[in-house]
Structure 1
Amino acid sequence: MENFIHFVLSLSAAVFFGIASIVFVVVWVSHFGEGVAWDAGMAEFNWHPVLVVTGYIFLQGLAIVVYRIPWTWRFNKLTMKFVHAGLHLLAFIFAVIAMAAVFDFHNASAIPNMYSLHSWLGLVALTLFCLQFVLGVGIYLIPVTPASWRAAFMPLHVYSGLLLFGSVIAVALMGFTEELLLGLDNPQYKDSPPEAIFVNVLGFLLVVFGALIVWIATRPAWKRPSDQVLPNLRSDGLRVENSNVGSAMAELSNGADGETWGDVRKRSGNH
């Protein structure tokens, strides 16, 4: 891998900020709130930010960059596709439970549903995320899908994934602000009480995490090489024995799953 040290530093920083975000959201609902429970009260609502940050954002971020982690290159492409899809499925499950917690809390407290821009965009993002997942599984995990379809859909798949990831973080930040504006009374949000400052830091951590994930996912030098380029990995999984791999990687035009146009043409002859 080119710039391997830079990759390790970027990935380590992303994991650090992601885990820090999870810690902050847990402290927020436990120290400043009523903890978590499934009782139709505020403690049930608290599941919403916890599950969104933990699953919908952190796990989705890991799913986006999992192909680029060189220690996974020893596994074949199909295995990593299942890992990629599995992480996204977990993120989707977390998001659905988080949404259910909000609706249950609102219904029990006689609060209208779907009245804020945060709720509108949140539902749109979840719907599009589900569509992205279904199309991804249908096109890349079903063997009978024509290779030409996979190649044609790949740019949209990559773009949509990054767009949805960024959108989820933006919607989460809107939700944090809405909760502070509605929940803080004396002192108010504008007076910068400790809870407001704490949640603002949480939002900052999520933005940095998202920026690092997008950075890792868009560096051409950090793409996963095709299975033809990486026939033999060293036992430590850090680099390839062939000294020409560095230049070969730079010439690859593969997408997020490491599929090259050469692979597409080769498989197209089998359909």
Structure 2
Amino acid sequence: MGKYRGGFAWQSDPDHQFNYHPVFMTVGMIFFYGDAILAYRVFRGVKKIQVKLLHASLLALSLIFASIGLKAVFDSHNLVEKGVHLILFSYHFSLHSWVGLAAVVLFGMQWVCGFVSFLFPKLSEDLRKAYMPSHKFYGKAIFICGISAALMGITELACFGKIYPADKTQRTIINLFGVLIIIFGIIIIYLVANPGYQRPPDDQNEHVQLTN
């Protein structure tokens, strides 16, 4: 985006403001989200409350980056005269837009539900156990939706931006970027699904309240 797509700007230059969108959405909905999913697998020997705080913080960063990314793409359409952008780029038209926006909205809802259920004010243990399978399922499902939206967005940008087949270098970079996103997603899902990487049962003394 910096070298081949003209760099970055904000509302004074909506065309280049768009370039923040793929960067921030990838960092938020894929990189930080994937790291948050792996927090319980990587820090298996750390007290659970500390891992919870890390997990919630990484997800909060994901939501912040995704919100800025959405703001960038909305402005890039709303702050220009009608007809400047291709109608197919409209954020309410393409499948990429539908899946991506749905992923961000569901992600926000998932974060709020998880925060209330497991961190503060924290539901009863029975309710947490009952909700946990749904929390895990929707977490992985939204992550997959985010990856799918990214791959569709890459293809959309490449086609409508006339990168295919005009620019071999950009085409190669975009294709490799898509492949790396797929590999990253596969690794995340594999580590989460593999029982060998699961966190061992918690000691009773780790079940501490955040408030007295």
TM-score band, normalised by shorter chain: 0.7 to 0.9
In structure 1, stretches of 5+ residues that fail to align are 1-28, 232-258, 264-271
Could you say which residue in structure 2 is the equivalent of 1:218?
193
Identity of aligned residues (%): 37
Q: Does 1:31 align with 2:25?
A: no
Q: Which residue of 2 aligns with 1:50?
A: 23
Give the distance between the partners of 1:129 and 1:159, measured in 2 at CA. 12
Write the distance in 2 (CA, Å) between the matches of 1:224 and 1:50.
Answer: 32
- What's the TM-score, normalizing by structure 1? 0.69
Q: How many residues in Structure 1 have an aligned counterpart in Structure 2? A: 199
Q: Kindly provide the amino acid, as one letter, of the partner of residue 30 in structure 1.
A: G
Counterpart amino acid of 1:211?
A: I
When Rg is computed on C-alpha atoms for both structures, the one with the higher figure is 1
Change (3 A) 1:88 1:53: same
Give the Cα separation in 2 of the matches to 1:99 and 1:144.
30
CA RMSD in angstroms comes to 2.0
Q: Where does residue 227 of structure 1 map in the other structure? A: 202
Structure 2 portions without partners, runs of 5+: 208-212
The equivalent position to 2:68 in structure 1, one of 93, 97, 102, is: 97
CA contact (8 A) 1:176 1:199 kept: yes
Q: CA separation in 1, counterparts of 2:160 and 2:166?
A: 14
Cα displacement (A) at 1:190: 4.1
2:201 counterpart letter in structure 1: S
Partner AA of 1:126 in structure 2: V
CA shift, 1:226, in A, is 2.5
- Cα deviation per residue 1:162-208 (whole Å; 9 max; x = unaligned)? 11111101101100111111111xxx514662211210110000000
1:34/1:42 contact within 8 Å kept: no
Corresponding residue for residue 158 of structure 2: 180
Instruction: Identify the residue that residue 35 of structure 2 maps to in structure 1.
Output: 62
- Name the structure 2 match of 1:202: 177
Which residue matches 2:50? 79
Tell me the distance in 2 between the aligned counterparts of 1:197 and 1:150: 46
Kindly tell me: are residues 131 and 144 of structure 1, through their superposed partners in 2, closer, same or farther at Cα, counting changes over 3 Å? closer
Q: Which structure carries more relative contact order (alpha carbon 8 Å, separation 6+)?
A: 1
